[in-house]
Structure 1
Amino acid sequence: MPEPAPVSQPAPPRLRIGILLTPRFTLSAFATFVDVLRLAADDGDGSRPIRCQWKVLSADMAPVQSSCGIRVEPDERLGDPSRFDYIFTVGGLIESGRLSPEQSAFLRRAATARVALGGLCTGVFAMARIGLMDGYRCCVSWFHHQDFLAEFERMRPVSDQIFVVDRDRLSCSGGVSAAHLSAFLVDRHLGRAAARKSLSILMIDEPMEGDRPQPGLPLELNAHDPLVRRALLAMQQNLQAPLSIARIARDLGVGRRKLERHFNADLGIPPADASIRIRLAQARMLLSRSDRTVTRIAEETGFCDASHLIRVFRETEGITPDLWRQQSQTPGEARTPE
């Protein structure tokens, strides 16, 4: 009788990712990152981890609670980090998002073994606390830019891009940027068609490059030019101590005149006027939502003093900040206390 044909072994996954969840992690960043992998891993929508594999790792296998209250069960114990191509830490609430001693030791072993490490959402805070981001560029949401600077004075986070890849460190600003970082990895290991397929099923138009400006800033200026948007982000991130236009241009790697030309072409106003509008928008928000004094608001929005804010505010709104606050307050509306 003829010998039976040998059973072919399935090919190993081309992309293997381990995931650490910090306490009160952001569920959306974790879910969108994994869903891109899931949709790229199999033909159709079968969700089989064939071409890529992902595992939630734990020291004790206890469920981890996200910031919205939903708990996620780990898949495997920490073990040998070299079985993965990448290991990502998912952050969420900054103060509670700290790595355990076992997780920290695991990531240090991974770094020694030259496994690429990444942070989703505020995961870079947890990684920076144990020294794994020293000497690397990292991406932080504009919303947490000042929080990062307050904790890591010697590091300068990137908050005008959706994700950053610096050698063997990867990081993203959270939210849908986690999907784009995941698609970047899928593109790198499985091909662009797989990345586009995943994003299309998730109703995301197309993969975005890491240097795409972060969306979602509460600005009244609707800029389309990427250079202008990055400049507006720099203004937003430095409200209390506004940067000079020359400094912003230098940080963006362009001359001041070029930056001014881009502003005039895109918004029809010079950068200095845009800076005033952003600071006034923040002042109006603080007037309507808090009981802060005009003097305090002037300090927090980069005006020289209360008189300076009052003068600029009256020129723009036609009334003083205090009168604007009275007129804008809805009857019975509660304000946030000082």
Structure 2
Amino acid sequence: MPQVTMMLTPGFQFLALGVQAAFELANVLQGERYYTLSITSAEGGAVLSSSGFAVPTTRLDEAGPIDTLLLLAGLVPPPQQDEEMLAMVRARAKEARRVAGLCTGAFLLGQMGLLDGRRATTHWSYAQEMRKAFPQVKVEDDRIFINEGPVWTSAGLTAGLDLAVALVEKDLGREVAGAVARRLVMHHRRAGGQSQHSELLALAPSSDRIQKALLHAKAHLTDPLTVEDLAGVAALSPRQFSRAFHAETGQTPAKAVEQIRLEAARLMLEDSRLSLDQIARNSGFVDLRRMREAFMRHYGQPPQTIRRLSRAA
């Protein structure tokens, strides 16, 4: 029976423990105990979570043979661990068939050097910090999870469930993984290539005028959406609008409109069966060629690849 071992660090986020449910449900659906589950830490004993609850653990180096090692950390990246602890975890990770860093747990993989030369993701708000800390890692902050050989990483906390279901699919097939997702009442299974966050949320304008212009853009994607159009919605001159927009969002209006169109197109790719030409028109791109160029600039992948990744799930 493959053993799935979770390793906790002090201050871990309690919600992350929920990924165990994917493996428990797989056992239920199989009608047998396919996976065994264990919760460990570097030193064993009770480990305090970020919310103040303590969870009993066994020592990682005393756990039996590990098939899948899941590393959990907190709402903020874990500090640099001492080398003795990292050496122990590194040894157990290399013995395992696969290892995953959930959310900020990816920083532990980085500290062990297991991400060097690999693609990895983490919560988008810590992606830049991860790039600085681990320059040998290709950090992709717009992915739900990434699988690089035996090493997996995921984005924010709920993305850990998507990763866990993907692990179940690797072991037991798509049908079982889909049944697990339904039991978990996951709205839909997200492929690893999906976007982590909303462009409107990322832009985060502070004034009602700029917010109103952005909401207008989202509701009228097939309109030209020139600076003059958006400035009129905001009741500002084009010059005033451009200045205010950049000051509040850090983007030009044209760049922000492209990002909103890209997000709309991506959602249509993932959730509809519209043709690529229809999606290009519905999201306000002049034609499929322009949409493809924008996808390559922003995501590094053409639209058809993102659709294929989504449908694979």
Q: Which amino acid aligns with 2:66?
A: F
Q: 1:241 to 1:16 in 2, by over 3 A?
A: farther
Structure 1 counterpart of 2:10, one-letter code:
P
Match in the other structure for 1:39: 25
Contact 1:22 1:99 in 2 (8 A): no
**1:43 Cα deviation after fit:** 4.1
In the alignment, is residue 129 of structure 1 matched against residue 111 of structure 2? yes
In structure 2, the residue matched to 1:161 is 143
Contact 1:29–1:175 at 8 Å: present in 2 too?
Answer: yes
TM-score by length of 1: 0.57
Q: Aligned pair count?
A: 228
Partner of 1:87 in structure 2?
Answer: 69
Amino acid at match of 1:38: E
- 2:43 corresponds, among 56, 60, 64, to 60
Structure 1 gap ranges (5+): 1-12, 224-238, 253-260, 275-338
Match of 1:211, SS state, is coil
Q: 1:275-323, CA deviations, whole angstroms, 9 ceiling, x for partnerless residues? A: xxxxxxxxxxxxxxxxxxxxxxxxxxxxxxxxxxxxxxxxxxxxxxxxx
Q: CA offset at residue 169 of structure 1?
A: 0.5
Please, which of 84, 88, 104 is the counterpart of residue 86 of structure 2?
104
Change (3 A) 1:216 1:72: farther
CA separation of 1:36 and 1:263: change in aligned 2, threshold 3 A: same
The answer to whether structure 1 residue 20 and structure 2 residue 15 are counterparts is no
> Does the C-alpha gap of structure 1 residues 241 and 140 become closer, same or farther in structure 2, counting only changes over 3 Å?
farther
| Matches of 1:142 and 1:199, distance apart in 2 | 24
CA distance in structure 1 between the partners assigned to 2:11 and 2:284 by the alignment = 40
**What letter matches 1:39 in structure 2?**
L
Which amino acid in structure 1 is aligned with residue 127 of structure 2?
H
CA 1:201–1:100: 2 relative to 1, 3 Å = farther
How far apart, CA to CA, are the structure 1 residues paired with 2:10 and 2:152?
21
Partner of 1:266: 283
Distance 1:154 1:267, change over 3 A: farther
Relative to structure 1, the CA distance from residue 140 to residue 267 in structure 2 (aligned partners, 3 Å threshold; closer, same or farther) is farther
CA deviation profile, 1:173-220 (whole Å, cap 9, x unmatched): 022211111001111112323322222222103322211222355155
Matches within 5 A, 1:63-212: 63-74=46-57, 76-79=58-61, 83-99=65-81, 101-113=83-95, 115-212=97-194
- Which structure 2 residue ranges, 5 or more long, are not aligned? 203-213, 220-248, 263-277, 295-313
Whole-angstrom CA distance in 2 between matches of 1:65 and 1:80: 20
* Cα 1:204/1:95, change in 2 over 3 Å: closer
Q: Which amino acid aligns with 2:3?
A: R
1:262 to 1:214, Cα distance in 2 relative to 1, 3 A: same
C-alpha separation between the residues in 2 aligned to 1:67 and 1:114?
Answer: 27
Question: Which residue identity is paired with 1:105?
Answer: A
Output one character per residue of 1:224-261: Cα deviation in whole Å (capped at 9) or x when no partner. Answer: xxxxxxxxxxxxxxx7699x98xx99xx9xxxxxxxx9
Contact 1:137 1:157 (8 Å CA) reproduced: yes
Residues 63-116 of structure 1: CA distance to partner in whole angstroms, max 9, x if unpaired?
112222222211x32236771112111122435455454541222213443632
* Separation in 1, partners of 2:21, 2:88: 25
CA RMSD of aligned residues (A): 3.7
Distance 1:150 1:140 in 2: 13
Larger-Rg structure: 1
How far apart are the structure 2 equivalents of 1:87 and 1:60? 16
Matches within 5 A, 1:180-329: 180-216=162-198, 218-219=201-202, 265-267=282-284
Q: Percent identity?
A: 24
Q: Is the 8 A contact 1:22 1:97 kept in 2?
A: no
Report the CA distance shift for 1:96/1:167 in structure 2 as closer, same or farther (over 3 A). Answer: closer
Q: Which has the higher helix share?
A: 2
Using the alignment, how far apart are the partners of 1:95 and 1:87 within structure 2? 19
**C-alpha displacement at 1:131, in angstroms?**
1.3
SS of equivalent to 1:193:
helix
Q: Give yes or no for contact 2:66–2:96 (8 Å, CA) kept in 1.
A: no
Equivalents in 2 of 1:204, 1:222: separation in Å? 26
* Compared CA separation, residues 156 and 262, structure 1 to 2 (3 A): farther
Match of 1:51 in 2: 34
CA distance in 2, matches of 1:61, 1:181: 26
TM-score by length of 2: 0.61
